[in-house]
Chains A and B, each alone.
Chain A
Amino acid sequence: MTDTPPPNDPTTHLVPARSFGRRRIAFNLLTVAAAFLGVGTSLLLQPDRWNRAAGYANLLASASTITWGSIYVAVALVMAAAVWRPTLRVVAVVAHTAGIALSLSWLIGFVVRYLTNDATTPLAVLAWGAFLAALIRSAIVLDDGYEPVALIHRRKAP
C-alpha cells in the first residue's frame, strides 16, 4: 500500500482511480449471471419440479419451461460476456437491459401470484427483487468504470 501524502503535497498530483466501477459491475453481474444460469439449467433439466410448484403456474402458462430455461441461459451468457469483455459498452448495456427485463417480468409474475394465491410465500418476490436491485445498482455504476469516480494521489514524475 502506498502512503497517502497530505492533500497539498506539491510532489503529488491527483489521478482518477478507474477500477472501482468495473469491479463492482463484475461482482453484481457475475452473481446474477450465476443465479440465472442455475435457474435456466434447472428449468431445462428438471421441468417436472417447476410444473409441480404452485408459485410458477402464471409464468409457465405464458411459456414452457424449455422457453424460459433457454431465455435464462442466454441472458446469463450475455452477462458473462459483459464481464469477460468489460470495455465493450454495448455488450454491458445489452446484458443489463436483458437482465432487468427478465427479472422484472418474473418479479411481476411472482407479485401477482403472491396476491392471488394463499399458498405462496413472498420469498420468490424478495429474491427476484434482490436480483433486480443488484442489476439496477450495476447499471447505475456502469459508467463508473469508464469515467473517473475518485481521485488518488500519485507521485509526480521527477
Chain B
Amino acid sequence: MNTPPDEIATALPHRRHIVSLMTIALGHAAIGVALWLQPERWFNTPSYANLLSVASTEVWGSVYLAVSAVMLLAVWRRRNRFLVVTAHTAGIALVGSWLIAFFVRYLTDDGTTIVNVVSWATFLAILARSAIIIDDDLGTEQVPAGESNE
C-alpha cells in the first residue's frame, strides 16, 4: 500500500460530495442557458407560469447560472468550507423554491404532471445528501472497538 491511510481517509468523503455537486451544477447550468436562449419554450409550458410571473426568464436564467458557477467553484476549491457551504445553501434555496412552486402548480392545474415535482425533489435530495456528507471523515465510518469487520 503506497498511499498513506490518512490520505485515503480524507479523500473518500470529498469525492462523494463532489460527484453530487457536479451533477447538480451541470444541470443548473443547462437550465440557466435554456432560460436565456429559449424563453419561448418556457412561456409555452403551463407548468412554469407561477415561476415566470415572479421573475422573467432572464432573471431566473441568471440565478441558475450564478448558483451553478458557485457550485463549480466549490468543486474546484473543495477545501474552502465557506464556498462549499455557500454553494449548498444557494442550491438548496433555489431548488426548494422551484419545488414549492411546482407543487402548488401541480395541485392547482390539472394540465400538469408530477414529473417536475419528482425531479426537483430528487435534485433537493441529492443536494441535501451532499451537504450532509461534507463533514464526513473516516472516523465516523470506523468499526467500534471489539466488533468484527471480517
Taking Cβ atoms with an 8 Å cutoff, the residues of A that contact B are: 1-2, 4, 7, 14-20, 24, 27, 31-32, 34-35, 38-39, 42, 46, 48-50, 52-54, 56, 118-124, 126-127, 129-131, 133-134, 137, 149-155
Contacts and interface: CB of A to CB of B under 8 A. Distances in A.
Contacts of A119: 41, 44-45
Interface of B: 1, 4-6, 8-9, 12, 16, 19, 23-24, 27, 30-31, 34, 38, 40-42, 44-45, 48, 110-119, 121-123, 125-126, 129, 138-145, 149-150
B27 A18 contact: no
What 9 pairs between A and B have smallest CB-CB spacing? A127-B119, A1-B139, A42-B114, A119-B44, A38-B118, A35-B118, A126-B27, A49-B113, A121-B41
Given A122-B34, A137-B19, A150-B12, A53 B113 contact: yes
A35 B121 contact: yes
Nearest to B144: A2
Given A53-B112, A153-B5, A123 B119 contact: yes
A19 B34 CA distance: 40
Interface of A is mostly: helix
Interface of B is mostly: helix
Contact of B119 (A24, A27, A52, A130): A130
Contacts of A19: 141
B111 A2 contact: no
B77 to A, nearest CB: 23
Given A2-B144, A130-B123, A151-B5, 17 more contacts: A15-B143, A15-B149, A16-B149, A17-B142, A17-B149, A35-B121, A46-B114, A49-B114, A56-B113, A119-B41, A127-B115, A131-B122, A150-B9, A151-B1, A151-B8, A152-B5, A152-B143
